[in-house]
Structure 1
Amino acid sequence: MSLIDGLGGAFVFSEDPKRLADWYAEYLGIQFEGSEEFGAFYMRYVAADPDDPTWVMDTTFAIMKAKRPVPRMTRNEGVEQDDMYGDQPFMVNLRVRDLDALLAHLDERGVEPLRRDDEGYALFAWILDGDGNRVELYQPRVEAALSAAQA
């Protein structure tokens, strides 16, 4: 039995959280709640527990004010183009419904993927956000997700 029920949230710290939240809104379409007044911009994703529909599970993605300067990553800062994870201390994985459409949207705004990959069970791409953090974009294949859920 797992003692962990799921991921409650992912928190990205930025020296300028409003600017970074605006980047995620413009480039990835995330509509944040919260504001600088509350010290965080956040989006809450909610799903029912398949084993107990009365139990609601939520995951929060938040951008919060950093308490000290945050090192910025750059595209060519000693990380090979084909290294999907880079050398940063964390990476956020965002699930998407249509990776090709999102990448076309990003391309129109001058954001190119660092890499794309087809792992059979899912499609992946990696980009740098407005602070230079590597972000993984993940489109699961429906068949693979259903098989995993039934296993």
Structure 2
Amino acid sequence: MGKVVGVGGVFFKSKDRKALAQWYQDTLGFAIDPSYGGTSFLQTNAPDKACTVWGPFKEDTDYFEPSSREFMLNFIVDDIHQCLEQVESAGGTLIGEPSEDDMGIFGWFMDPEGNKIELWQVK
């Protein structure tokens, strides 16, 4: 039986792909690949060559139809409090206070294009 073994990517529409990619690079250290405007996060516990991709799409793409632009991204971070400070310093809007549960610590913000982002520091 076939099964899913990981997340292959996160793709979404963007008003200004280059500006948003630059903001994430400057704010959270994304290593943006100029050949496609996104970044790949290699997973050491995933199958060989598997990765999770971050990549904004042009705003007028029809790739996501019939879905609307409703989503929330989750990024695993090494230091949630430092990341949230960096986000706020770079003009992101923090949402509420970080919350901790059995999975770890979670925090939320809105990026410059109004996308809700969840950060997760694994316990």
What runs of 5+ residues in structure 2 fail to find an aligned partner?
62-68
Report the CA distance between 1:42 and its aligned residue: 1.0
Instruction: Give the number of the structure whose alpha-carbon radius of gyration is greater.
Output: 1
Is the contact made by 1:113 and 1:127 (CA closer than 8 Å) also made in structure 2?
Answer: yes
Give the RMSD, CA atoms, in angstroms. Answer: 2.1
Establish whether residue 43 from structure 1 lines up as the match of residue 75 from structure 2.
no
Q: Which amino acid aligns with 2:7?
A: L
Identity of aligned residues (%): 28
Greater percentage in helix:
1
Q: What CA distance in whole angstroms lies between the structure 2 residues aligned with 1:13 and 1:34?
A: 18
Query: Superposition pairs for residues 1-151 of structure 1, below 5 Å?
Result: 3-34=3-34, 40-49=36-45, 55-67=48-60, 89-115=70-96, 116-141=98-123
Q: What CA distance in whole angstroms lies between the structure 1 residues aligned with 2:12 and 2:34?
A: 14
Q: What CA distance in whole angstroms lies between the structure 2 residues aligned with 1:111 and 1:15?
A: 16
Q: What CA distance in whole angstroms lies between the structure 1 residues aligned with 2:10 and 2:75?
A: 10
Is the contact made by 1:48 and 1:56 (CA closer than 8 Å) also made in structure 2?
Answer: no
Q: What CA distance in whole angstroms lies between the structure 2 residues aligned with 1:60 and 1:30?
A: 11
Q: What CA distance in whole angstroms lies between the structure 1 residues aligned with 2:103 and 2:45?
A: 23
Q: What CA distance in whole angstroms lies between the structure 1 residues aligned with 2:89 and 2:15?
A: 27
Q: What CA distance in whole angstroms lies between the structure 2 residues aligned with 1:25 and 1:96?
A: 14
Is the contact made by 1:124 and 1:138 (CA closer than 8 Å) also made in structure 2?
Answer: yes
Number of residue pairs matched? 115
TM-score (norm 2): 0.80
Is the contact made by 2:93 and 2:111 (CA closer than 8 Å) also made in structure 1?
Answer: no
